[in-house]
Structure 1
Amino acid sequence: MAGGTGTLGTRAVRALSASGVPVRVLTRSADRAGGLPAEIVVGDVRDPATLAQAMRGVTTVVSAVQGFAGTDPGGATAVDLRGNENLLSAAVAAGAERFVLISAAGAAPDSSLDLRRIKHQAETTALRSELKTTIIRPTVYLETWLGILTEMIEAKRAVTIFGRGDNPINFVSADDVAALVEHATRSPELAGATLEIGGPDNLTLNELARAVLARHGVPEKVSHVPLLVVRAVATLARPVKPSIAALARFGVAMDSTDMTLAADTARAQVPGLPLTSVADVIA
């Protein structure tokens, strides 16, 4: 598994291991993979020369890599697109059979968000490869945002939101997505499928912030960075701080585009997947 040390990756590794599947994690830092029930191989999807060892004897490759907010100047193009192309080439050369790609809900060639356009390009490349590919498109990971809000509360007992914070957003638990990943690796009938998965709740960032503040017993204190300022950062920071600009662009999208989920196609095709609510995770 590539991307096995992130919010989704760690959960998917544990879900796969618990099902009895031997797991190998490709990571840039062995320290980040400490404690995972997996064989650890150090490598980088951006460097094809490091991938052969990771692919040796592998039948199924799961890619949960993401680079849109990383330090590489190439951002998502370098990791989500080129990195996945390198993974696919290495997997084919090693004789792997299946590829499970973690994409993003709303991935489309005409998306207003460059991350979603790049994710769609990666999807197209994977589906055209020799491998039997399953695409998984989650909505926004709930645990990621709970972590962000919690860090703010612990640091300053308050929350700052980019934009108005009134746009409904579908949040999905990474545990639910991990269950789908585990199922997809042992379900050849899902080859060629694109599965969108979300959670039961559409909440605004203001609502989520209030819930987390209440959980911590902190009086409600939410401030906002005006959307005009966030748009300016997204534009002006691009040449000098591409990772900051990428986060700002995503902040604009979360505040001004449809972030709900039209249809949970994953649960329509895979009955019995867990459906974890925001209240369940906060509790």
Structure 2
Amino acid sequence: MSATTAMTDPASASAAVLVLGATGTTGSRVVSRLTVRGHRVKAAGRRATPVEGAEAVRFDWHDPATYEGALDGADRVYLVAPLDSATPADVMLPFLERARASGVRRAVLLSSSAIPAGGPAVGQVHQALPGLFDEWAVLRPSWFMQNFTGDHMHARSIRAEGVILTAAGEGRVAFVDADDIAAVAVHALTDVRAPGTDLVITGPEALSHTEVAAVLAEVTGRAVAHRPLSYEEMRDHLAASMPLEYAAMLAGMDRANARGAEDRTTDTVRRLTGREPRSFRDHVLAAAGGTEPTLSARVL
């Protein structure tokens, strides 16, 4: 469906869109875009943080007692998996069964370009989704540009040491801006016809981490370098701050990137939204200039 022919589903006008992870990188942007368009939104999170224009509700994947209140009155849901879990299907699939029973008819899942249906982690949820809902989509974005400018470990190491640590070698990745992911998500949630497929979302160009470091250095005037690690070194580095199984999975994704797994671009953003995706340079310029909406002045 093209952006020029897509229309908002009128049947959903009085029902709510439940956005999980509503204060997160993509969730906050999805909430903002939906409320600006006049949609009723339930912004869900562990602390039910107030969000302008939306109804804040408490939701915790590991507390089924929070499910009913979050689902009440919602007919669509934006799904963000629990963080740092290598087996999110364990809690997500029982929730989705309840969501279907409560009247949710459309589900849009945030996954990753690195994880196919049936793959590890959220790939198991991707595989099950078409059997649970007639209306669905799986967003499979490439790695986020915000990883280098937000509160991700890469951004923190750039600020503290001027380095990016990866096991990706010189493999290229078509990094994508979270705002472009959110724009696609809103179309998937509200267009008359659900995509009914997975959508690989990328930025306009594939860059190595060395090239990313060069752009950051040029725009900010700071010394930034990419320091390649082996798979084992990256796994152990990550395991200092997360479960070993999850660290091994992330380091494995880096190793796949070194072999070219993410060296591709797609037309998904342009096809669904009618505009070109933001380039990494433009993203960094916005972050450095303080115009990136979720970033503070300390970012770069």
Residue in structure 2 matching 1:38, options 26, 48, 54:
54
Pick one of 9, 27, 37 that aligns with 1:9: 27
What one-letter code is carried by the residue in structure 2 that aligns with 1:272? G
Structure 1 length-normalised TM: 0.82
The letter for the 2-side match of 1:280 is D
Tell me the SS of whatever aligns to 1:134.
strand
Instruction: Report if the CA contact (8 A) 2:231-2:252 is conserved.
Output: no
Larger CA deviation: 46-55 vs 14-23: 46-55
Cross-structure match for 2:102: 94
Deviation at 1:191, TM superposition (A): 4.5
Deviation for aligned residue 1:58? 0.5
- Matched residue SS, 2:206: strand
SS, match of residue 153 in structure 1 = helix
Q: Measure, in 1, the Cα distance between the counterparts of 2:98 and 2:52.
A: 24
Shift of 1:109: 5.4
Superposition CA RMSD, Å: 2.8
Larger helix share, 1 or 2 = 1
Gaps of 5+ in 2: 1-18, 286-300
Deviations 1:12-43 (A, max 9, x none): 1111111111111221123xx35454211112
Instruction: Tell me the secondary structure at the aligned position of residue 76 of structure 1.
Output: coil
User: 8 Å contact 1:92–1:131 — kept in the other structure?
Assistant: no
Amino acid at match of 1:208: V
Deviation at 1:151, TM superposition (A): 2.7
Cα distance 1:201–1:188, how it changes in 2: closer, same or farther (>3 A)? same
1:261 to 250, 254, 264: 264
The question of whether the paired residues in 1 share the 8 Å contact of 2:184 and 2:273 is answered with: no
Change (3 A) 1:196 1:232: closer
1:140 deviation in Å?
1.0
Is 1:103 matched up with 2:105? no
Distance in structure 1 (CA, Å) of the matches to 2:238 and 2:165: 19
Aligned positions, number:
265
Residue from 22, 37, 50 that aligns with 1:19? 37
SS of the residue corresponding to residue 277 of structure 2 reads coil
Identity %: 26
Compared CA separation, residues 240 and 188, structure 1 to 2 (3 A): closer
Once the two structures are TM-superposed, the CA of residue 271 in structure 1 deviates from its matched residue by 5.2
The TM-score, its normalising length taken from structure 2, stands at 0.77
Moved more, 134-143 or 81-90: 81-90
Alpha-carbon shift at residue 102 of structure 1 (Å): 1.3
Q: Does the C-alpha gap of structure 1 residues 37 and 159 become closer, same or farther in structure 2, counting only changes over 3 Å?
A: farther
Per the alignment, in what secondary structure is the counterpart of residue 40 of structure 2? coil
Please say if 1:76 is aligned against 2:86: yes
Pick the aligned partner of 2:47 from 19, 26, 29. Answer: 29
Moved more, 20-29 or 167-176: 20-29
Tell me what 1:227 maps to.
230
Structure 2 CA distance for partners of 1:234 and 1:117, relative to 1, 3 Å: farther
Take 1:238 and 1:249, find their aligned partners in 2: how far apart are those partners? Answer: 16
Pairwise CA distance, 1:107 = 2.6
Please give the alpha-carbon distance, in whole angstroms, between the structure 2 residues aligned to 1:106 and 1:153: 24
Q: Extract unaligned runs of 5+ from structure 1.
A: 111-115
One-letter amino acid of the structure 1 residue matched with residue 78 of structure 2? V
TM-superposed CA distance for 1:82, in Å, is 2.6
Between 82-91 and 248-257, report the one with greater CA deviation.
Answer: 248-257
1:192 — aligned with what?
196
Q: Summarize the Cα distance change of 1:48–1:105 in structure 2 as closer, same or farther, 3 Å threshold.
A: same
Q: Within the alignment, does 1:127 sit opposite 2:123 as a pair?
A: no
Which of 152, 156, 179 is the aligned partner of 2:157?
A: 152
Supply the distance in 2 between the matched residues of 1:236 and 1:197 (Cα, whole angstroms).
28
Alpha-carbon offset, residue 282 of structure 1: 0.9
> Which string of whole-angstrom CA distances, capped at 9 and with x for unpartnered residues, describes residues 93-114 of structure 1?
211221111121143257xxxx
Q: Which amino acid aligns with 1:174?
A: A
